Each structure stands twice: as C-alpha cells, then as structure tokens.
Chains A and B, each alone.
Chain A
Amino acid sequence: MADEQQLCTFFLDDRFFGVGVENVQEVIRYLPITPVPLAPPVIRGLINLRGQIVTAVDLRRLLQLADRAADLRPMNIVVQTRDGIFSLLVDRIGDVMGVDPACFEHPPDTLDGIARELIQGTYKLQGRLLLTLNVAKLFRPNILNRSVERQEPDSENPTAPA
C-alpha cells in the first residue's frame, strides 16, 4: 500500500468524486457567497476565507449537471492550483480515502465534452465508482469561460462584453 494515493472525496447527488489531497488546502462548511454579476455562471461568487477573497466555482455547473436544490447549501473544498486558490462548491464531503492505483482506469470513450477533460479517471471501488478530477485543469480560464458558451442558451448570465 506504499504507493496508495490519498483522495479527498465528496458527492454531487450520489455521484462520488475525489481530488488528490495534496491539492486540497482545507475543507469548510458553507460560507456566504457574494455573487459576481457578469461572471461566467460556473463562478458562483466570492467567499471570505479568513480575510482572503477566494473565487467559488460550482462543480455542478462545471460538469454541466443540474443546479442543486435551493435549500441545499454547498460545502467548500479549497484547492490550490497554479491559477490561484479556488473553492470548489460540492454537495457533501466524504472521507479522505487511500486508493490502490491498481483499481484505476481511464475514463470510457463514451465520456465527452468538458467532462472528458476534467475527469481523469475512475477508481473501481467495491460497490461504486470514484471519479477523480484533474485539478490542474479545473480552474483554467479557458475551462471556466468555455462552460459559459455551452450554457449560453439559458442566457441567465450572458458574457461580459469584450
């Protein structure tokens, strides 16, 4: 088990995800979010993380899933990347798990769109699949902005003019 990877796990509905613990700065309960008008819809707004202003990105919107119910308050997974510190908004937090690289498999070819770029692969655990996310890619400006184009039709939050 020496090369076992530690993942910080969480849920969107009953979908089970994980990111490498080395990228995770901390996990915190719901914090009030200040929305940023004209921002890409995946950016839910800004949170005050002990005096530091952190951009909160909704993983549901990033993966093009339906929005969570209004009464469900998202949890923050604070992630450090080359692009800065972000908070990933998720439904529920799971445990930190050690996973055996032997059960890793790349995503199936049927996976496409933005999910294909963001989902690194799956760990085949007993009874369920754990999807791992590519943290380095999650918060790239082109990813955050691209999801705007895809969600444009609902026009709730059009792009800012150039």
Chain B
Amino acid sequence: MAKAKATLRATDAAMDEIIKEFLTESLEGLDQLDNKFVMLEQNPEDRDTLASIFRTIHTVKGTCGFLGFGHLEKVAHAGENLLSLLRDGKLNFTQEIASALLSMVDAIRTMLGEVERTEADGEESYPGLIETLNRLKDGGSAAPPSTAPSPLLAPASLPVTPVTASAPSPLLAPATPATASAPPPSPAPEPAISPVPAAAESTSASVAPELHPTPAERAAVAPTAPSGAPSVADSSIRVDVPLLDKLMNLVGELVLARNQILEYTVLQENPPLLAASQRLSMITSELQEGIMRTRMQPISNIWAKFPRVVRDLALGCSKQVRVEMEGKETELDKSLIEAMKDPLTHLVRNAIDHGVEMPAARRAAGKPEEGCLLMRAYHEGGQVHIEISDDGAGLNPVKLRSKALEKGLITPDRAAAMSEQDFRRLIFLAGFSTAEKITNISGRGVGMDVVKTNIERIGGVIDLESELGRGTTFKIRIPLTLAIVPALIITSGGERFAIPQVNLLELIRINEEQRNTAIEYVHSNPVYRLRGKLLPIVNLNRELKLITTVVASVINIVVLQTGQHHFGLVVDQINDTQEIVVKPLDKVLQDIPVFAGATIMGDGRVALILDVLGIAQQARILSDSHDQNLAAQLRAARERDAERQTLLLVRAPGDGRLAIPLAPVSRLEEFETHQIENAGDVDVIQYRGHILPLIRLKDILGERRSFDRLAHTGTSAAAANLMQVIVFGDGVRRVGLVVDEILDIVQDVFEIKGRSTRAGIAGTLVIQNRVTELFDIQSFLQRAAPLLALVEEA
C-alpha cells in the first residue's frame, strides 16, 4: 500500500481526479446518512438501513486509507467498528450511539471540507470522538449523563419550530428527559443535523470543542475558501447513464435529420435556407461533440485500482513492482471503459505474473530489483492507444515455438515459415499458456485469446512488442466511441454498405485494360499484387450472395485490415466517406457475422455496416487452411513495408521526372485555372473556406521563362483549363504546389544515387528504371513560410 500510495502521490494531476471523485461520492453518501440515522431512530431494528450506513462509512474509510488521509480514516474506522456491532445485532441502537455517530458524520464532513480546500484532512484528529465511539463500542455509556438541559439548537442557526406535545421529536424524546424542556428541532427536512452539536456536547466535554458548531463552522468557512470556486459537489452532478444513452441516441437522430436536410437544401438553391441549414449543421456537430463528451471518462477510472492490484499481486509472488502511469486523463466512452476493464486487468496480471522476474533473477540480469509496470494512454488518429509495458524477461520466441508445437497448435511446416514476431503473437491463440506452473493468478491457458477477442469485439486491435530480457509491451488501439464512426460507403449488389474507417487502409482501382490480368490465383485463392506483394482478395458480392447488378469496367478493391491480417475486398462501387450512427441489429440478425450493425443514410434508407473481422472469418482469411506461403509472404511484405518510402512522381518542367515525398502531402487536387485570384503578387485560390497560396514547381526549379500567369500555363496531360495541385500541410496552414502532371505513386526502398544539381532538388534516384530528381521538401516549405504568414493575416 505504501508503495502504491507513494506512486500516486507523485502524480498530482491524476490525484486531483481521484480526490474529486472521492469527495463527490463521500459527500453524497453523508447527505443520505443524515436521513438514514433519523429513520433508524424511528425504527432501531432496521438492519438494512444499518447495513447501508455501515457500507457508506466503510467506503469512506477504505478510500481515505488509500488516499492517505490518516485522521479521516481513524475517525471513520472507529465509527465503522461501532456500526459493525450494531449491524450484527451485538449492540442496540440508542440515542447516545446515534448522537455519537452523527458527530462522526459531521466530523467527517468537516474533514472532507478541509480536503476539498487543501487536499489534506487537516490537523484535527478528533481524539475525543474516537474515544467516545470506542467506549460505546465496548458497551459503555458515552459520558456521564449531562445534567444541563441540552442546548439543542443553540449553536445552529436553524429556524426553530415549536413542537406541540402531540408531536414529540422522535429523535431525542425517549433518551434524554432534559429535552422535554428544550424546544425540539423541527421535524422538517434535516432534523438530524441540528441536534448534532448538542449531542456532542452532552456526550463528552472533550469532544465538544471541535464538534461544536459544525454547520455554522462550515458556513463560516465557506466564503473564505481561497479559490472562491464552487465546491466539487456543486459543480458536478450525477446523471443516469440510461438518460445519457437516450440523449446520445437523440443526437444520433439529429445528425441523421441534419444530413437529410442538408441534402435537400442543396437542391433548393435558396441561399437563406442554405445558410440556416449550415448553421443547424454546425450546432448539431457541436451538440454531438458535447453529448459525446458527457459520456467520456478518463481512463484513470479503471486505472486507479491497478496500483493496489499490482501491489497485492507482487506480494503474492514475492516480486517488487512499481506502477507508473502516463496519460490517465485520456478519455474514452463509458461503454468502452467498461469493456476495457477486464482485458486491462488481465494484461496487468500477466505482466506481474509472467513478465516481471523474481528480484534475484533481476539482480542477476543487471536490472534493478524493483520491476516497473508502465501504463500509457493517449489519443492519436481518432483512436485511443493504450500500452501496458513491463521491463521483465520478455517473450522467448524459441520457447513459444516449442510450446506451440508441443501443444499441436501449429504444424512444423508452418513453424518453419514463421518469424520471431509470429511466435510472440502465438500467445493470442486459444489454449496457449507459457507459465511453467499454474499460479493462482494466471497460467490456466485461458486469457490472452479472450483479451484479444474482447478488444476486437469493441472494434479494437491488440499487438505486442517484446525483446528477450528487456520486457514486453502490449499495444491496444480502440475507437473513441462506438456510437458514431467515420465510415466508407460502398455499393455492392445494388445495396449500400458502410465500412468502418478504422479498418480501412487504402482504395485500389483497377482499370479496364488491367482488369483481366490484375487478379491472379494462388491455388484457386484470388490475390492481387499490391506493390509487388500478394494481397488476398475477397469478393463482397460472393460472400454476401449478392447478385452483381452492374457490369463494371473497373475493379474496385478496398484494402482492409483486421488485426494483423490485410485483405482486399472487391466491391461494385466506392461512394464516399460519412460519419454514421451505429444502430444495433435485431437479435436474429446479430447471428450473421458479417454485419456489425446498421445506419440510416442521408436519403433515409437503411444501410448495413460491414463487420470486417466477420467477413475475414467467413472468407477464411484468418483460418489456418489458408495458404501458408501466402501468409508468410504477406508478413514478409509488411515487415519490409516499414522501411519503404512513398513518393509521388510528377513531370518536371522540361519533361524530366521528379519525386516528391508523400508524407507531408495532405491532398492532391485539381482546380480550374479561372479560380485563381491574386493577393499581392501571390497566386491564391479559395480552398475549403481558406486561402490557399499557390507556388509553381517551375518557379521553384528556377526555370521561369517568362512572367506568364498560371492561367496561361499549358498543361499537356489534362484539359487546358485544369491544373494539378499538390496540397501540403494541414488545417489553415496549407500551401499548394502547382505541377504539370502527376504521373504515379511509387512505394519502395529508395537510395539516393546522385547529388543535387540545382536549387530545389535534394538528389537523384532511379525509379522505374528512370533517373528521377528528388524534390527538396525542406527548402520548399521554407520558401513557402512567408506565404503561410499571408494566410494567417488574411
């Protein structure tokens, strides 16, 4: 615990979140306690109420122990002890006990207030109160009976309602005869609070000072709180998840309705209507984002328990492990948080049990005895990335291989074709466990495959990296939310289908002259040579038993990935990309593995969402029967892909060829020359609501022959009034490079063969057997910098 605490203490920002939640939860619990105590006094035998009070205090105690609020924990602990006896019926509920417990509630409240202001539970340790609680627990009386009339309402400034004899306050009447002479509190809303100071005074003189005017004190302190900000309890409310779900659904509907309206207004040629609908569109988008955010929770909600889990596990197997967390504030949808709980717990358990070595072994390996478990989370590319790393022994591919062979999970033939990384990935197979012996933590052979399935079920992907002796990292990517996803709309067999963009790699269009030769067969399995590597091909019409309605002259291939597998899906037509609202299918239809759900398109028709994993399974892309050579080739291709470079080939002035690195390119566009406008002596064009400055390749390469304007630049390939523009950068900081003709996109490992011969050129390459100059992207962007400034001023 001490270690976990220390680690938590170290990261203050995340701590704030935990404390905030603790405060909200505890204060809420305490508010209910007041009422419950009153109920209890009316009906002292009510075990349910007692048990629920016990639970509340127990939770407070547990959490503040975890957070290191010692004083608070001690008070709650004393109360909990007393309550446990009451709950078990070993002690009878008396008014004295009620008073003492109420004092405790107020003491806790005071300390929570302190926590909220200072993040510490204050100096006061309430020894008197604890003593009283303990004495009551041992069956003693709280204090010598007070002879003085209880000054019931004196300290609190609550309104006093005289109570008639026929309606005695149930709270104090039976136990303290003295109350008869004192005006009892109003039975209205909060009867429990008012007697507290009084009760405290009557129980023990030593308790009195700190307990004395609790409500008043709180009132007095509040305005002097340094920040003056609303308290935690005021600035956040709890909302029913079903209500949020409903709002989410409604926003989904709104998005659909908005899409429909936009479609119709475009046809209307009515500018005011168009303006209004665009405003509607913007507001809808913002609303959608806002509602989605209400469902977002920081991942720390599930991570918070891990320091404790790790500590217990590590103790259990005599290891030393410390937890480090990065990016706990990373948010994701609540349903995904829930879905990630088990897989993450499993990965953490695995890391402690299998990953981190025993201290002696670590010392021998020259590592610190204390292992480190690093949990990272961050957003990237519209997805949430989660990594769980340990600095333990790492996975041994040789051991994994022999284990898999021994268990008959792979054939020797197959093993021969597998890479080390493939062996590591074997741990995701069902029935695979590498633990030498089964421990009570893990090693029963169920696990990693379940983790993988669970993550894939929510549209995520898991992979691992491991180095023998250095440790293992599990990398998980999951979507931000499940409800609204960007998707590619395609048509096949006359119907539209949506493919989640998460699975989308690229689109290939095979034109007429190549269509008969492009698809080849490996033992009757169709494949396509994608940049020299074989990509298995699946025909959507065939998988879905659809009748091909159009005789297309081209073949459209959507390259998809699921897990480590890539495949090409042949569809009739590729339409566009859209944000779609995912709706679940009826139970009967959920049994069909190739659909993930349905959505409503802009025209009001329903379209099905393809489940890429399901299609791959149905087409047996993932099965072992698939040609092993092919699989090995695919893997080899992917490994080589890492070193490859993608270059855009354009025709350079003077009929040479020029290669431009594709990485900084955001889009390739075609503009009509009459769209060009002038800003000073710069050619600009209006593009996506911003001004896009244009630079001509000719000018860069210093071959500007005359001051002819772009409008008069003849392009040989395209129609004379069109020009090809390569757009660099993103957002508003964009610049366009005007080229004569875009020839091709090539991907390979390139080596610079010759040095630069002129300005704007970084070197010379040989591509497709032709000498090609490599565009100097750095100097181009430097040159473009002043133009970007122009954009910002505009």
Contact check: which of B252, B257, B593, B606 meets A160 at CB < 8 Å?
B593
Minimum distance in angstroms from B549 CB to a CB of chain A = 12
**B588 to A43, Cβ gap below 8 A?**
yes
User: Bound complex: CA of A145 vs CA of B590, how far in Å?
Assistant: 12
Inter-chain contact total with CB atoms closer than 8 Å: 75
**A158 to B257, Cβ gap below 8 A?**
no
User: Given the known A-B contacts A53-B598, A161-B618, are A39 and B588 also in contact in the complex, defined by CB atoms under 8 Å?
Assistant: yes
User: Given the known A-B contacts A53-B600, A84-B586, A144-B588, are A34 and B593 also in contact in the complex, defined by CB atoms under 8 Å?
Assistant: no
**A51 to B587, Cβ gap below 8 A?**
no
Q: Which chain A positions have C-beta within 8 A of B138?
A: none
Q: Which chain A positions have C-beta within 8 A of B608?
A: 34, 36-37, 46
Q: Which chain A positions have C-beta within 8 A of B589?
A: 36, 39, 43, 55
User: Bound complex: CA of A40 vs CA of B591, how far in Å?
Assistant: 10
Contact check: which of B253, B493, B585, B592 meets A51 at CB < 8 Å?
B253
Interface residues of B in 606-622 (CB under 8 A from A): 606-608, 618
Q: Which chain A positions have C-beta within 8 A of B592?
A: 36, 38-39, 160
Minimum distance in angstroms from A93 CB to a CB of chain B = 22
Contact check: which of A43, A47, A86, A161 meets B606 at CB < 8 Å?
A47
Q: Which chain B positions have C-beta within 8 A of A34?
A: 495, 598, 605-608
Minimum distance in angstroms from B726 CB to a CB of chain A = 40
Q: Which chain B positions have C-beta within 8 A of A5?
A: none
Q: Which chain A positions have C-beta within 8 A of B618?
A: 161
> Is B544 on the interface with A (CB-CB < 8 A)?
yes
> Is A25 on the interface with B (CB-CB < 8 A)?
no
Q: Which chain B positions have C-beta within 8 A of A35?
A: 495
Interface string of A94-113 (1 = CB under 8 A from B): 00000000000000000000
User: Given the known A-B contacts A36-B595, A157-B545, are A46 and B587 also in contact in the complex, defined by CB atoms under 8 Å?
Assistant: no
**A160 to B583, Cβ gap below 8 A?**
no
> Is A141 on the interface with B (CB-CB < 8 A)?
yes
Minimum distance in angstroms from A83 CB to a CB of chain B = 6
User: Bound complex: CA of A104 vs CA of B213, how far in Å?
Assistant: 76
> Is A32 on the interface with B (CB-CB < 8 A)?
yes
Q: Which chain B positions have C-beta within 8 A of A51?
A: 252-253, 256-257, 600
Q: Which chain A positions have C-beta within 8 A of B607?
A: 34
Q: Which chain B positions have C-beta within 8 A of A145?
A: 588
User: Given the known A-B contacts A47-B606, A48-B605, A55-B586, are A160 and B591 also in contact in the complex, defined by CB atoms under 8 Å?
Assistant: yes
Q: Which residue of A lies closest to B256 (CB)?
A: A51
**A38 to B594, Cβ gap below 8 A?**
yes
User: Given the known A-B contacts A34-B608, A35-B495, are A84 and B587 also in contact in the complex, defined by CB atoms under 8 Å?
Assistant: yes
Minimum distance in angstroms from A81 CB to a CB of chain B = 11
Minimum distance in angstroms from B487 CB to a CB of chain A = 15
User: Bound complex: CA of A35 vs CA of B605, how far in Å?
Assistant: 11
Q: Which chain B positions have C-beta within 8 A of A141?
A: 587-588, 591
> Is B743 on the interface with A (CB-CB < 8 A)?
no
**B598 to A32, Cβ gap below 8 A?**
no
Q: Which chain A positions have C-beta within 8 A of B216?
A: none
User: Bound complex: CA of A139 vs CA of B588, how far in Å?
Assistant: 9
Interface residues of A in 102-149 (CB under 8 A from B): 139, 141, 144-145
User: Bound complex: CA of A39 vs CA of B591, how far in Å?
Assistant: 9
> Is B604 on the interface with A (CB-CB < 8 A)?
yes
User: Bound complex: CA of A141 vs CA of B589, how far in Å?
Assistant: 9
Minimum distance in angstroms from A158 CB to a CB of chain B = 7
User: Bound complex: CA of A43 vs CA of B608, how far in Å?
Assistant: 14
Minimum distance in angstroms from A161 CB to a CB of chain B = 6
> Which residues of B come within 8 Å of A, CB atoms?
252-253, 256-257, 493, 495, 544-546, 583, 585-589, 591-595, 598, 600, 604-608, 618
Query: 19 other contacts beyond A36-B585, A38-B544, A48-B605, with CB at 8 A cut-off?
Result: A36-B592, A36-B595, A37-B545, A37-B546, A37-B608, A38-B545, A40-B588, A43-B588, A46-B598, A48-B604, A48-B606, A51-B256, A51-B600, A139-B588, A144-B588, A158-B545, A160-B591, A160-B593, A160-B594
Report 15 cross-chain contacts, Cβ distance below 8 Å, ordered by A residue.
Answer: A34-B495, A37-B594, A39-B588, A47-B606, A48-B604, A51-B252, A51-B253, A51-B600, A55-B585, A55-B588, A139-B588, A157-B545, A158-B545, A160-B594, A161-B618
